[in-house]
Amino acid sequence: MPGTRRYKSGMSVERLAALISDHQPCVVLTGAGVSTESGIPDFRSPGGIWARYDPMEYATIEAFRRDPAKVWDFYARRFEVLENAQPNAAHHVLAALERGGYVEAIVTQNVDRLHELAGSQNVIEVHGSIRTSSCLACGERATFDEVVAMLERAPAPSCPRCGSIMKPDVVMFGELLPEGAIERASELARRARLLLVVGSSLNVYPIADLLQDTLLAGGKLAIVNRESTPYDELAELTIRASAGETLSHVARRLLV
């Protein structure tokens, strides 16, 4: 087990930059915390989405099948926020680090498309994305923009082909993860010499397994998250600070 080391802010950023440049390939695992600085609330922080909506009523596939219109009342609000959200410094730095050869891939639990909008190329979305919605009855698909237009006319988007209510292509509790995504993520995690976690409470199974994949293969773990996580003790470095600010400092040290 690698020793836990904590450094004061300036030094820890130096240390993170050194870890990234000395331990390649580096794979980044992001969660909702990478997008809060874009104005998208996370799930577990005080004031996060679950403080206002009970996940068992809004985010399970059973809830959707039982009452899709009710679940769309929740998603319509999320779509409204996501329609206008822009990538923040953390997304931009991660894209720049990939272009600079410092980041091999991003494995994200987010569904907000912000890594892609920032220009990251190799992004694995293990919980799907709001990019498309699908009809569970006939398989018809609609793009995010098409769904936004439908939501202006009706409280839930109806399939243009068969009229059923469509479902956003995000993984709800009780659903399987997108085929191949977790396998690709796991392979990347095993090859990574450094797995850098940014903005995740690391509570959602099976994402945390990726950390074990890296550690068991002899790679190191670094965590940038405002709160503590169950994996802090296993990390080479933990930085409890803002993702945007921390990564901006790292970029200044690695990218000129």
Rounded to the nearest 5 degrees, what angle is found at the Cα of 161, between the Cα atoms of 157 and 165? 30
Chain positions contacting ligand NAD, by CB under 6 A: 31-33, 35-37, 40, 42-45, 48-49, 109-112, 127, 199-201, 203-204, 225-227, 242-243
Nearer to ligand NAD, 82 or 159 (CB): 82
Distance between CA atoms of residues 37 and 2, nearest Å: 31
Task: Check residue 135 for interaction with Zn ion (CB under 5 A).
Answer: yes
d(CA 110, CA 85): 13
Please choose which of ligand NAD, Zn ion, none residue 137 contacts, taking the beta carbon within 5 to 8 angstroms, the exact cut-off set by kind. Zn ion
Q: Is residue 138 a contact residue for Zn ion (CB under 5 A)?
A: yes
Sheet containing 128-135, strands listed edge to edge, beginning at the edge strand earlier in sequence: 141-143, 128-135, 166-170
Chain position whose Cβ is nearest to ligand NAD: 33
170: which residues sit within 8 A by CB, 6+ positions away?
Answer: 111, 127, 128, 129, 130
71: helix, coil or strand?
helix
With contact defined as beta carbons under 8 Å apart, do 160 and 141 qualify?
no
- In angstroms, rounded to a whole number, what is the distance separating the alpha carbons of residues 170 and 165? 15
The residue annotated as part of the active site, out of 91, 92, 127, 249, is: 127
Q: How far is the CB of 197 from ligand NAD (least distance, A)?
A: 9
Residue from 14, 37, 140, 146 that binds Zn ion (CB under 5 A)? 140
Question: Could you confirm whether 127 is annotated as catalytic?
Answer: yes
Residue 150 binding Zn ion, by CB under 5 A:
no
The binder of 158, among Zn ion, ligand NAD, none, by C-beta within 5 to 8 A per type, is none
The item of ligand NAD, Zn ion, none sharing an interface with residue 40, based on CB under 5 to 8 Å by kind, is ligand NAD
CB of 167 to Zn ion, least distance (A): 11
Q: Which residues contact 84 (CB under 8 A, 6 or more apart)?
A: none
Residues annotated as part of the active site: 127
* Residues in touch with Zn ion (CB under 5 A): 135, 137-138, 140, 159, 161-162, 164
